[in-house]
């Protein structure tokens, strides 16, 4: 299995944070891709249909915010391309309230903005990853050209949370943006899909998770403190909430005893 992490091209990087490509040539072994909270809506193309909760997925699936951990399961070889969008991208690109897609991935062709496209057919009829990336880039560019909605206030709020994901700071943000707390909450959920405090917690968890997943972060207690958790127990509870696993159990997944 080969994995690539790609930087989005200039034509789409306003809305696309990163691109993940997985190519699995093993036609026999099953594969399970964990779906954990990361704060980013995602467009996923898979050359072979998969399953989530035993429900068959399409080749093109749009994910909103993921809070409840799940997995995307496949049988046999496949190629997967995932476009991780910036948090406020669903409304301008797909003309859908982000809240509607939270923990509710949908087939891309269900959306009116995405309808009447031959993207899926063209992706399935080519095997070169570079050509598939080019096709998805062109599709996203078309969505960008049709966009009439911008949310600079919420984009600013997301930026403020990312810069300092502390609960104390969060209480001050709506005042800085000259919004009432209720308007801020409602507008944020419409654009991002979850409440500001939940987004703060997801961002905090994902930053710690990425460091842990890289296996280069040192002790668990150090990772916890570096990402603003009060102690390791606080980090463990958050990690289990978003993955159903403890940090130690997650690290042991790849050990020989678990293979």
End-to-end CA distance of the chain: give it in Å, rounded: 16
Which of residues 51 and 110 earns the better pLDDT score? 51
Pick the CATH number of 2-146 from 2.60.40, 2.60.120, 2.40.50, 3.40.50: 2.60.120
53: pLDDT strictly greater than 80: yes
Per cent of the chain over pLDDT 70 is: 95
- Confidence at residue 70, expressed as pLDDT on a 0 to 100 scale: 95
- For the chain, what are the domain ranges? 2-146, 152-257
CATH number of 152-257: 1.10.10.60
Specify whether the CB–CB gap between 68 and 21 falls below 8 A.
no
pLDDT tens, position by position, 100-136? 999 999 998 888 665 556 899 999 999 999 999 999 9
pLDDT tens figures, 161-220? 998 887 767 778 888 888 898 999 999 999 999 999 999 999 999 999 999 998 776 799
Q: What does pLDDT average to over the chain?
A: 90
Instruction: Kindly report whether the global pTM for this prediction surpasses the value 0.75.
Output: yes
Pick from 59, 66, 62: which is nearest to 42 by CA? 62
CA dist 155 and 221 (Å) reads 32
Q: Which two tokens stand for residue 190?
A: 């419409």
Task: In whole angstroms, give the CA distance from residue 174 to residue 176.
Answer: 5
């Amino acid at each position: 299995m080969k994995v690539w992490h790609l930087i989005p091209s200039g034509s789409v990087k306003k809305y696309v944070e990163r691109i993940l490509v997985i190519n699995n040539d093993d036609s026999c072994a099953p594969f399970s891709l964990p779906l954990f909270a990361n704060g980013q809506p995602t467009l996923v193309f898979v050359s072979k249909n998969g399953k989530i909760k035993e429900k068959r997925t399409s080749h093109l699936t749009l994910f909103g915010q993921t809070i409840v951990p799940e997995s995307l399961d496949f049988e046999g070889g496949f190629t997967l391309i995932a476009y991780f969008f910036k948090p406020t991208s669903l409304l301008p690109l797909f003309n859908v309230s982000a809240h509607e897609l939270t923990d509710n991935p949908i087939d891309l062709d269900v959306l009116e903005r995405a309808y009447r496209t031959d993207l899926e057919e063209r992706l399935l009829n080519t095997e070169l990853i570079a050509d598939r990336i080019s096709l998805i880039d062109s599709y996203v560019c078309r969505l960008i050209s049709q966009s009439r909605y911008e949310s600079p206030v919420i984009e600013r709020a997301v930026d403020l949370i990312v810069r300092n994901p502390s609960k104390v700071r969060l209480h001050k943000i709506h005042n800085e943006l000259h919004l009432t707390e209720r308007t801020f909450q409602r507008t944020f959920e419409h654009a991002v899909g979850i409440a500001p405090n939940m987004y703060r917690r997801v961002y905090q968890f994902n930053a710690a998770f990425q460091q842990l997943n890289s296996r280069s972060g040192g002790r668990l207690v150090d990772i916890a403190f570096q990402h603003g958790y009060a102690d390791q127990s606080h980090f463990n509870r958050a990690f289990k909430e978003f993955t159903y696993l403890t940090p130690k159990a997650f690290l042991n997944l790849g050990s020989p005893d678990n293979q």
